[in-house]
Amino acid sequence: IPRQLAENGLDRSEYALKFSDQALRAIVRNYTYEAGVRNLEREIANVCRKIARRVAEGKPAPHHVTVQSLSKYLGPPRFLRDDWQHDDEVGLAMGIAWTEAGGDLLPVEVSLMEGKGSLLLTGQLGEVMQESAQAALSYARSHARELGISGVDFDKLDIHIHVPEGAIPKDGPSAGITIATALISALIERPVHHDVAMTGEITLRGRVLPIGGLREKVLAAHRAGLKTVLLPKRNKKDLVEVPKKVKRDLRFVFVDRMDEVLPVALLPEAPPSQAN
């Protein structure tokens, strides 16, 4: 900021421009999407140039840049804040992913339809992620009795698994437990807690394997206002990389097996209705 203020003549005592902390956070979240600060400085420079021009033309110019004034200088936000406000829903689970620009949310949707036993995968999923979806389905089928879905005829059921934002390619095994949770939720018709995020690779036997990028994934969940994060137990040691404030704000549940995921992720079964 000092460099851009100096380059645009806005650091003089008669006109000292200041950015509020909230405005800087809004620029980072809504106008840049990167791991570094190059674009952040570029956007700060854009604001400074436009205000400097008003000063040079003798027009009224602000001494403080606020969140409310950002759109005047930078236009509408270019990136939506990575939150996903929804109710507890059947067949919708919230994953968290690592990207080159940091962490992001990875919602997974599942719909069931009468059909011929097909598995449809959409959302521009890479080969490894497609294999994770197939592993999640095989886990559900092989554990049908424990899950209470032994009566489901999978040969007459089409399953559609979709990961929104289809224009963005997605890959990697760490969405395994998210896909499995959304799928099982749809099969047993129990909603998923909307404030729970999760990440972890799943095996055919329901083991939850460790993942990479834990710090970025946890920060994404925290930014989005989620409350509980399910993580592989073997990633517990990596929690040291997460800022203390974030750790205080979130509840972490470490799991080894898929049957430890479901009681946390799914709403309790509704009690059977009693006849009068």
Q: What CATH number did the domain enclosing 103 receive?
A: 3.30.230.10
In the predicted structure, residue 206 carries a pLDDT above the cut 90: yes
Question: How many C-beta atoms surround the C-beta of residue 189 within 10 A?
Answer: 12
Strand pairing of 11-12 and 201-202?
A: unpaired
Shared-domain flag, residues 227 and 169: yes
Q: Which of 47, 74, 101 is the last residue of a domain?
A: 74
Q: What domain range includes position 144?
A: 92-265
Q: Is the CB of residue 244 less than 8 Å from the CB of residue 269? A: no
Shared-domain flag, residues 174 and 253: yes
Shared-domain flag, residues 162 and 45: no
Work out the pLDDT band at 85, boundaries 50, 70, 90: low
Q: Which of 132, 170, 185, 217 is catalytic?
A: 217
φ/ψ of 240, rounded to 5, equals -60, -20
The residue among 84 and 14 whose pLDDT is bigger is 14
CA dist 42 and 52 (Å) reads 15
Q: What's the confidence (pLDDT) of residue 79?
A: 65
In the predicted structure, residue 247 carries a pLDDT above the cut 60: yes
CA dist 216 and 242 (Å) reads 8
Work out the pLDDT band at 163, boundaries 50, 70, 90: very high
Q: In angstroms, what is the C-alpha Rg of the chain?
A: 23
Shared-domain flag, residues 97 and 66: no
Work out the pLDDT band at 13, boundaries 50, 70, 90: low
What the block records as the tokens of 4 is: 């851009």
Instruction: Please confirm, yes or no, whether 50 is among the known catalytic residues.
Output: no
Sign of CA dihedral 230, 231, 236, 237: negative
pLDDT 10s digits, 175-204: 999 999 999 999 999 999 999 999 999 999
Shared-domain flag, residues 33 and 165: no
Q: Which of 43, 74, 105 is the last residue of a domain?
A: 74
Work out the pLDDT band at 80, boundaries 50, 70, 90: low
Shared-domain flag, residues 143 and 201: yes
C-alpha separations of 156 from 148, 159, 168, 214 in Å: 18, 10, 31, 39
In the predicted structure, residue 6 carries a pLDDT above the cut 70: yes
State if pTM tops 0.75.
yes
Q: Which of 156, 174, 247, 273 is catalytic?
A: 174
Q: What's the confidence (pLDDT) of residue 196?
A: 97
Q: What's the confidence (pLDDT) of residue 235?
A: 97
Please report whether residue 114 resides in a domain. Answer: yes
pLDDT 10s digits, 87-104: 899 999 999 998 776 788
Structural domain total, the chain: 2
pLDDT 10s digits, 120-153: 999 999 999 999 999 999 999 999 999 999 999 9
Instruction: Please confirm, yes or no, whether 273 is among the known catalytic residues.
Output: no
pLDDT 10s digits, 18-76: 898 999 888 887 787 655 567 788 889 999 999 999 888 888 888 889 999 898 888 88
Shared-domain flag, residues 133 and 54: no
Q: What's the confidence (pLDDT) of residue 40?
A: 85
Q: Is the CB of residue 176 less than 8 Å from the CB of residue 201? A: yes
